[in-house]
Structure 1
Amino acid sequence: MTVTVRFAPSPTGRIHIGNARTALFNWLFAVNNKGRFIQRFDDTDIARSKQEFADSILYDLHWLGIFPDVTEYQSRRVEIYDAAVERLKAARVLYACYETPEELDLRRKVRRTRGQPPVYGREALTLTPEQVAEYESDGRRPHWRFLLPNFTSDPLQPERTEVHWNDLVRGEETVDLASLSDPVLLREDGTYLYTLPSVVDDIEMGVTHVIRGDDHVTNTGVQIALFQALGAEPPVFGHHNLLTTVSGEGLSKRTGALSIESLRGDGIEPMAVASLAVLVGTSENVTAAHDLSELAGHFDPAATSKSAAKFDPDELFVLNRALMHHMPFEEARDRLIVLGISGDRAESFWLAVRGNLDRLSDAVAWWRILSDGPQEAAEFSGEDRDFLHQAFDLLPEEPWNGTVWKDWTGKIREATGRKGKPLFMPLRLALTGRSSGPELADLLPLMGREGTLARRP
């Protein structure tokens, strides 16, 4: 059996880091089991689903390093769902209901006042042919509900019916079908809700493992019953905890909160996003993995906590800095060229500045400083200006090597008596215009003697 997983968002917005968590859990599980990854768009909500969102989701997944084996769209598979509906009708487990939303809401309120759970009472099963004809003559069109197998002989007398499964993430799980309403599978206008297409596709596509957020735990009890009604063995289910902000706020595609697109625009590296999305809320330390293969070695769905995974977006910048500080030049080269950083000095420059970068794009400012001098002239006291004049007079002649900074500051210390910060800070400000940054011992050879003298105050 080939392990087969799927990531099935609705293309109604841009995915965020919480959606990426689900995609990465599935991808890494497939990687670790030499399996297949299906990208499926649950786009049966025709009014809200947009191709532009589907395209952006695929782009975001590719940016993260996820490349699906196949891409499917539910909107192109309606005939398969229609056939499943006919099978369920023939088995008498899909029944027509004519209540309006207002009528259903009133019934829920009545049940609450009676101390009963606000589940659907299956009143539609008691309709006579005459009542059905009257509804239809009034122009009402039915929606269709799946009859949950939570009774012995009389569906109007539901009884506790437990569905059990060994969750890949949470361990043993149980859902009581008697606590749930029969789910609507088909709307009045003939369009499908999430449940039926999802189950039919999982059957048809050979999905062996369904890994998703724990907001679907209750849905799983219903879906297992539907798998069985369609004569199929349910897949293995796993429900990971959801990502929230530190304050407990959830994430939403509709609001664009922490979207992958916005994080990319902020200069966050894909592996910073992937590392945080996968490791937060697990027993693993949240550290920056170099690539998805390395991250797969730290991935264990069973190591995921059952409670919500709260994270601070600032952690992304911590991970980003760690990736910057260790990124080899070969990995950065092409991106640096796009930023205008190339030539014989490019590699030495990158190795000199990477330890001071939050984002790769930050290298541009240092390249300008290296090439053109400080972007803003520093202000010096009269004493420091005299010191700098004397210091620049002591600048060694070329050729320079890796010891030129040490040689130069040694001469300055001997001639002026200055040492420590009083010596180094005026030099740093004169050479770079900044009070902190890369080691001057690394930058000085890149500036050259002529470029260094050009920064003399």
Structure 2
Amino acid sequence: MPANTVRTRFAPSPTGALHVGNLRAALLNWLYTRKMGGSIVLRFDDTDLARSTREYADAIADDLAWAGLDFDEVTRQSDRLATYDAAAETLKARGLLYPCYETPAELDRRRKRQLARGKPPVYDRAALELSADERTALEAEGRTPHWRFKLSHDTVSWNDLVRGPQSIETASLSDPVLIREDGTYTYMLPSAVDDSELGITNVLRGEDHVTNTGVQIELWEAIGTKLPVFGHFPLMVAAGGAKLSKREGGASVEEVRAMGLEPEALTSYLALLGTSDDVRPMSLEALVENFEFSKFGRAPGHYAVDDIARLNADWLHEAAFDQVADRLAARGIDMSPELWAAIRGNLETLADAALWKTITEGEISPVIEDPAFAQAAAALLPPEPWDETTWKTWTDAVKAETGAKGKGLFMPLRLALTGLDHGPELKALLPLIGRDKARSRLAGDMG
């Protein structure tokens, strides 16, 4: 397959906030597509009209843009319902889509009986035995049918891009419901129709869809479309191995953003988790170059938002000023490249930069443990201009004058100049604080 023919899609349902697992699916599709030089479609699967909202769709699009993912086309299934209706009528005419009248309670009782007898809880196709008169009678009772796709009960096989050769016995599966009682579509039929009409060549998704793929291959074949290449990557799970749910901290992109974490930290984590590579901060461009499905193991990745926080700090510690200047400005932090270079190694989140902006340029509460020592140090401040050699020049003079050394020398000066007992190297901060503020703070003045 020529590289430029690759076409993939990410198809979220806009019924809630974007889950980090869904972002990972979008990201892996995007990385693969960009590496192959192909195109990627953002398709909103919004046929569930009762739960899908434009607000959720807009929020998902915003989260994807924040993560740096761009798309070559955007479509919405709610705009294409007539197309799905036509495909459904074709399947009905061929006897591949048949009406069923069981209620959810009846189906549940039937499944329980099957399990009690040691049988798999597979739909028994009882609806196919109904006569026309029996269907008419059921509808006269007020029952509205749901519609199932009739599987072939053959073996479906494919060569998975991630998992290698796969096969599914569709006789072991229930005929899937394609149309609900209320007339709305489950995702299967619209997805197959869209993948065909949009020219999707590769369907890449989590391994929880492996069984579905056997069903969907038969559906693709039934509507007469060329089969895409499938790839099913390992899922992410919670730290204890359970399904990653909304109860986990940082399980939605919205939560990760609210924690003040940068997109590079999240995308690096999601792209590298479960691979043979070290999980480290990388740009999207580097992730594209590095991407290979062969690097993924079969074990699920254990998601931990604390690990993303550590990656976030690592990224900030190396970030150049031009990478963060606009983000700082968006937070109302007007910062010079020199101050950024001085403080970045001490940041956990970008918002922390505001503190050091205040410490160097604003008013603080200096901590003076020994006023006599502070007064002596103030008297020895060298004249400006100052640079990174000034700190050593000054502290050498203070040491010679007072006899203080080590922590007894440096900590009182740090407390007086910054009000804190930790922070960036003072050789970098001192020139940014300036002589006037340094003298004022050593005197115990606010500022």
Q: TM-score range by the shorter chain?
A: over 0.9
Match of residue 153 from structure 1 = none
Moved more, 251-260 or 38-47: 251-260
RMSD over equivalenced CA pairs, Å: 1.7
Pairing 1:378–2:371 present: no
Deviations 1:261-295 (A, max 9, x none): 22112210001010111111111110000x21111
* Residue deviations 1:240-267 (CA, integer Å, cap 9, x gap): 1222221224334698952212211221
Residue 434 (structure 2) aligns with: 448
* Distance in structure 2 (CA, Å) of the matches to 1:365 and 1:255: 30
Q: CA deviation at 1:418?
A: 2.0
Q: 1:267 aligns with which of 260, 266, 288?
A: 260
Contact 1:13 1:256 in 2 (8 A): no
Residue 282 (structure 1) aligns with:
275
SS in structure 2 at match of 1:455: helix
> Aligned partners of 2:155, 2:374: CA distance in 1, in Å?
82
2:202 is the counterpart of 1:202: no
Point out the more displaced range, 200-209 or 399-408: 399-408
Could you say if the C-alpha distance between residues 254 and 342 of structure 1 is closer, same or farther in structure 2, counting changes exceeding 3 Å?
A: closer
Aligned counterpart for 1:61 among listed residues 59, 64, 71: 64
Query: What residue identity is the alignment partner of 1:219?
Result: N
| Distance in 1 between residues matched to 2:386 and 2:22, nearest whole Å | 53
Deviation at 1:185, TM superposition (A): 0.6
Q: Which residue of 2 aligns with 1:156?
A: none
Task: Show the 5 A alignment for 1:59-98.
Answer: 59-98=62-101
Give, in whole Å, the separation in 1 of the partners of 2:416 and 2:400.
Answer: 20
| Alignment check: 8 A CA contact 2:366 2:417 kept | no
For residues 43-62 of structure 1, the aligned pairs below 5 Å read: 43-62=46-65
1:100-122 Cα distance to aligned partner (Å, 9 max, x none): 11221222122222221110111
1:405 partner amino acid: W
Contact 2:368 2:416 in 1 (8 A): no
SS of equivalent to 1:118:
coil
TM-score (norm 2): 0.95
Q: Structure 1 residue 373: deviation in Å?
A: 4.1
| Equivalent residues of 2:7, 2:38 under 8 A apart | yes
2:160 paired with 1:163: no
> Which AA in structure 2 matches 1:351?
A
1:18 counterpart residue number: 21
- 1:102 is matched with 105
* % same residue: 50
Match in the other structure for 2:215: 222
For 1:184 and 1:135, the matched residues in 2 are separated by: 19
2:231 equivalent to 1:238:
yes
Conserved? CA contact 1:16–1:256, under 8 Å: no
Report how many residues are paired.
440
8 Å CA contact 1:13–1:254 kept in 2: the answer is no
The SS at the match of 2:174 is coil
1:179 correspondence with 2:172: yes
The answer as to whether partners of 2:249 and 2:305 remain within 8 angstroms in 1 is no
State the alpha-carbon separation in 2 of the partners of residues 330 and 276 from structure 1.
23
Between 1:3-12 and 1:259-268, the stretch displaced more is 259-268
The amino acid across from 1:323 in the alignment is: W
Conserved? CA contact 1:373–1:432, under 8 Å: no
Deviation of 1:417 (Å): 2.2
Secondary structure of the corresponding residue to residue 144 of structure 1: strand
Rounded Cα–Cα distance in structure 2 between residues aligned with 1:303 and 1:311: 18
Larger deviation: 100-109 or 248-257? 248-257
Give CA-to-partner distance per residue, 1:23-72, whole Å, 9 cap, x none.
00010011000111100111111111111000000001111111111111
> Residues of 2 paired with 1:444 and 1:13: CA distance?
49
Letter of the aligned partner of 2:439 in structure 1? Answer: L
| 1:305 and 2:297 matched | yes
1:397 corresponds to 2:395: no
Is the 1:13–1:253 contact (alpha carbons within 8 Å) kept by the matching residues of 2?
Answer: no
What residue number does 1:359 align with?
Answer: 349
Q: Does 1:424 align with 2:410?
A: yes
Amino acid at match of 2:57: A
Structure 1 residues 129 and 402: alpha-carbon distance in aligned structure 2, compared to 1, 3 A threshold = closer
Other-structure match for 1:158? none
Q: What CA distance in whole angstroms lies between the structure 2 residues aligned with 1:250 and 1:26?
A: 22
Asked if 2 retains the 8 angstrom alpha-carbon contact of 1:405 and 1:440, the reply is: yes
Is this contact kept in 1: 2:47–2:78, CA < 8 A?
A: yes
Structure 2 counterpart of 1:106, one-letter code? R
Alpha-carbon shift at residue 351 of structure 1 (Å): 0.8
Return closer, same or farther for 1:44/1:53 CA change in 2, 3 Å cut-off: same
- Equivalent residue for 1:337, pick from 321, 329, 335: 329
* Cα distance in 2 for residues equivalent to 1:301 and 1:47: 37
Q: CA deviation at 1:340?
A: 4.2
Per the TM alignment, residue 413 of structure 1 is displaced from its structure 2 partner at its CA by 1.7
Note closer, same or farther for the CA distance 1:202–1:413 as it changes in structure 2 (3 Å cut): same
Q: Which runs of 5+ in 2 are unaligned?
A: none
Taking structure 1 as the reference length, the TM-score comes to 0.93
Q: Deviations over 1:369-419 (max 9, x none)?
A: 111243x33251xxx332222222211122323311111011112222222
**Equivalences for 1:319-338 in 2 at 5 Å?**
319-338=311-330
The residue number in structure 1 matching 2:421 is 435
Any gaps of 5 or more consecutive residues in structure 1?
A: 151-160
Rounded Cα–Cα distance in structure 2 between residues aligned with 1:285 and 1:130: 65
